[in-house]
Amino acid sequence: MLNHLPIGIFDSGVGGLTVYRALHERLPNERFVYLGDTARVPYGTKSLATIERYAIENSRFLAARGVKLLVVACNTASALALPAIQKAIKIDVIGMIEPGARKAVETGAKRIGVIATEATIGSNAYAKAIKNFNQQTEVVETACPLFVPLAEESWADEPETASIAAKYLSKIKEANVGALVLGCTHYPILRDVIQETVGASVKLIDSGEAAAETVDNLLKNKNLANLTAAQISRQRSLCDDLDHFFVTDAAERFARVAERFLGSQPARLEAVELWGNDELRTN
């Protein structure tokens, strides 16, 4: 029985905390083990080979800790490395791309916008996934790399962010999209300024929330949900001691940004080194 085991989540750094929050809200009976690869962030500007190598090391680390399934919170790793991860570990793996694409197509929009990192946009993963659900849908994509540091600085309400958003999103606005996928972990933090820029009629799709729905369905279909009475009876809060956080560098900064993103610091936070560990080696 795997039900009592936690769910593994990894991201290139702090951004995946938005996905952790979505999972935590939807699945209060589950425990989570989160790995933020803060030593090697960002992934969004790196090559396929490097992203695959990092993603496999992260996945093996979490699989070795005994998780019942793995959520790849990083959109970039989901877009480029999902097949490599699936080959490397023996548990179910859920990425961000398919859930986000499905939710966007479900809005019925004929034209869908996607914003993400350079690597995610370059991979065409969202466009392919959207077209798999509906061949007729038109997809308009734009990379918004500066949104990542702006979110980490909590500059959601600064005028500079609004002007950068206006510049990045002009193509999306002109295209008159009906839905816009927030295809990067950090973008939900800037949700309000993005909505204001593209207009209230555009439906924003949070790929983390979409993935949480997919995880919920998978747990039910595979009878993997945690049913332990002790767990259910306890009132959960974000970052409490039932969840375990690991980072590969700068734990203090991670804790600070976690407080900004989630309102509390992780009760259990540890620094780990993944490389040089033979068990996690990719070849």
Which parts of this chain interact with ligand DGL (CB under 6 A)? 11-12, 15, 41-44, 74-76, 117, 120, 148, 184-186
Please say if 184 is a catalytic residue. yes
CB 141 within 8 A of CB 126: yes
Catalytic residue among 81, 184, 193, 251: 184
CB 275 within 8 A of CB 57: yes
**Nearer of residues 119 and 130 to ligand DGL, judged by Cβ:** 119
Q: Amino acid identity of 220?
A: K
CB 203 within 8 A of CB 180: yes
**Nearer of residues 41 and 211 to ligand DGL, judged by Cβ:** 41
**Strand ranges in 101-218 using DSSP code E only, listed in sequence order:** 111-116, 138-143, 179-182, 203-206
Please say if 144 is a catalytic residue. no
Residue 122 burial (C-beta neighbours within 10 Å; 0-12, 13-18, 19+): middle
- Residues 15-32 as b/e (b if ≥16 CB within 10 A, e otherwise) read bbbbbbbbbbeebeebbb
Catalytic residue among 73, 74, 101, 109: 74
**Nearer of residues 73 and 224 to ligand DGL, judged by Cβ:** 73
**Nearer of residues 212 and 224 to ligand DGL, judged by Cβ:** 212
